């Protein structure tokens, strides 16, 4: 009988130790690096040092969609060279077309010649004027391109593509897909401010994400937060005209270009933050919202399932105001 009791005690102790081990906090790693002309930060719950793999994945991604590296797939497409499209390129192309259709053509990756002319692209800036804009608009539009036999077919060889308004979000998704493939249950991936979350942070809680106030000419140390979010298993992207812009002859030119008018978008929307299931979708719609302005942006997010939005805009007195969808309120942790 005594031996039996000892056996039971040992069994109970074994179970206790096993359960305690299962509940022990996981070890998280925080990796930093550079990619696509910006920085990345990846926090994940694995012991392995995965930075070399992350860098390799992002380098392969760049060789598909970077307009700043010679010899990439998109570079060859823009130069009308013979090139087979890969899965990265085709995925971005299909999503860009979907967003274009859902925004009445206001999101358009064929806007590259205009982006370049304004000085936000991969060529030298042009002294932009209405004549130049009108000439460029002739070969801009999704109706000018299509994929045929795994290649881009253009109606006009002068049509060029720039996927930077959506590719960065997709790069986030690509890293997320890799971490999920190795059974990573908790992570936060951020590239250039676009990010995706899964599971919990190291404290076992939702990830805390800040949304910047759209203050012009601020550096990292001068940033102020408009609000703080508590979020998990969602992607977030923010687009704004308070960082990428320039003044010329007293006129402000932002990187948000209207593909129908060819003009730099001018409206009272200062920043657009979108929450979606994937970062590519969030990134693309955030850009589209900045182009169309506040009222049209409200219509877009209300008509697309799975999107939540937080818009910062200026009223007639120049004061900051906010609008957010009903569902977005579920993520707000702190209001400033």
Q: At what angle do helices 294-303 and 279-292 cross, to 10 degrees?
A: 150
Lowest mean pLDDT among 6-10, 101-105, 225-229: 6-10
Q: Is residue 279 within 8 Å of residue 192, measured between CB atoms?
A: no
Greater pLDDT, 243 or 101: 101
Kindly report, residue by residue over 287-305, the tens digit of the pLDDT.
999 999 999 999 999 999 9
Give pLDDT, residue 20.
46
Lowest mean pLDDT among 38-47, 238-247, 255-264: 238-247
Q: Residue 289 class from Cβ within 10 Å (0-12 exposed, 13-18 middle, 19+ buried)?
A: buried
* H-state helical runs in 121-209: 130-137, 164-181
Gap between the Cα atoms of 134 and 262, Å rounded? 8
Give pLDDT, residue 179.
98
Kindly report, residue by residue over 76-119, the tens digit of the pLDDT.
999 999 999 999 999 999 999 999 999 999 999 999 999 888 87
Give all domains of the chain, ordered by start, each with its CATH number.
Answer: 206-335 (3.10.520.10)
How does DSSP assign 231-246, residue by residue? Answer: E-S-EEEEEESSSSEE
Residue 266 half-sphere exposure toward CB, CA atoms < 13 A: 7
Percent of all residues in the chain with a pLDDT value above 70, rounded to a whole number: 86
Gap between the Cα atoms of 142 and 151, Å rounded? 15
Mean pLDDT of the chain: 87
């Amino acid at each position: 009988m005594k031996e039996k009791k000892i056996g039971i005690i040992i069994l109970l102790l074994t179970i206790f130790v096993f359960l305690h081990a299962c509940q022990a906090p996981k070890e998280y790693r925080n990796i930093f690096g550079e990619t696509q002309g910006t920085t990345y930060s990846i926090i994940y719950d694995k012991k392995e040092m995965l930075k070399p793999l992350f860098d390799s994945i992002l380098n392969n991604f760049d060789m598909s969609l970077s307009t700043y590296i010679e010899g990439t797939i998109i570079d060859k497409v823009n130069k009308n060279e013979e090139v087979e499209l890969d899965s990265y390129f085709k995925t971005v192309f299909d999503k860009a077309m979907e967003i274009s259709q859902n925004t009445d053509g206001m999101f358009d990756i064929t806007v590259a010649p205009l982006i370049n002319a304004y000085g936000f692209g991969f060529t030298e800036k042009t002294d932009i004027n209405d004549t130049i804009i009108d000439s460029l608009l002739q070969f801009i539009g999704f109706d000018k391109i299509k994929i045929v036999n795994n290649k881009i077919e253009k109606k006009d060889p002068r049509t060029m593509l720039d996927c930077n308004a959506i590719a960065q979000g997709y790069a986030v998704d690509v890293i997320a897909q890799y971490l999920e493939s190795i059974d990573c249950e908790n992570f936060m991936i951020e590239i250039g401010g676009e990010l995706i979350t899964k599971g919990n942070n190291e404290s076992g809680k939702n990830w805390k994400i800040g949304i910047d106030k759209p203050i012009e000419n601020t550096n990292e140390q001068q940033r102020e937060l408009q609000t703080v979010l508590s979020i998990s298993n969602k992607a977030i992207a923010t687009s704004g005209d308070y960082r990428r812009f320039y003044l010329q002859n007293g006129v402000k030119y932002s990187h948000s270009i209207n593909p129908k008018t060819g003009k730099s978008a001018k409206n009272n929307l200062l920043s657009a933050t979108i929450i979606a299931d994937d970062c590519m979708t969030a990134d693309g719609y955030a850009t589209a919202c900045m182009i169309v302005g506040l009222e049209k942006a409200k219509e877009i997010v209300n008509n697309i399932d799975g999107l939540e939005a937080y818009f910062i805009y200026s009223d007639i007195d120049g004061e900051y105001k906010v609008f957010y969808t009903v569902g977005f309120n579920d993520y707000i942790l702190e209001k400033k």
